[in-house]
Amino acid sequence: MSPVQMQKLYEGKAKIVYATDNPQVLLTYFKDDATAFNAQKRGIITGKGQINCAISTHLFQMLAQQGIETHWLETPSDREMVGKAVEIIPLEVVVRNLAAGSLCRQTGLALGTALSPPLVEFYYKNDELGDPLLTRDRIQAMALASEEQVQQLDTLARQINTRLCQFFDQCGITLVDFKLEFGLDAGGALLLADEISPDTCRLWNQAEADIRQRVMDKDRFRQDLGEVEAAYQAVLNRVLAQTNSL
Residue 17 interacting with ligand ADP (CB under 6 A): yes
Among 18, 52, 53, 71, binds ligand ADP (CB under 6 A): 71
Q: Determine if 192 is a binding residue for ligand ADP (CB under 6 A).
A: no
DSSP classification of residue 240: H
222 closest CA partner among 43, 100, 33: 43
DSSP lists the bridge partners of residue 177 as 96, 202
Pairing of strands 33-36, 41-44: antiparallel
- Should residue 86 be labelled a site residue for ligand ADP when binding is judged by CB under 6 A? yes
Q: Is 13 in the site for ligand ADP (CB under 6 A)?
A: yes
Task: State yes or no: residue 145 binds ligand ADP (CB under 6 A).
Answer: no
The site that binds ligand ADP (CB under 6 A) totals a number of residues, namely 17
In 3D, which of 192, 176, 204, 170 has the Cα closest to residue 93?
192
| Among positions 82, 93, 157, 193, the unique one binding ligand ADP when judged by CB under 6 A | 193
Residue 91 binding ligand ADP, by CB under 6 A? no
Strand partners, 119: 96
Q: Does 80 bind ligand ADP (CB under 6 A)?
A: no
Residue 234, interface with ligand ADP (CB under 6 A)?
A: no
Gyration radius from the chain CA atoms: 17
For 11, left (φ over 0), alpha (ψ -120 to 50), or beta? beta
Contact residues toward ligand ADP (CB under 6 A) are: 10, 12-15, 17, 26, 71, 83-86, 88, 181, 183, 193-194
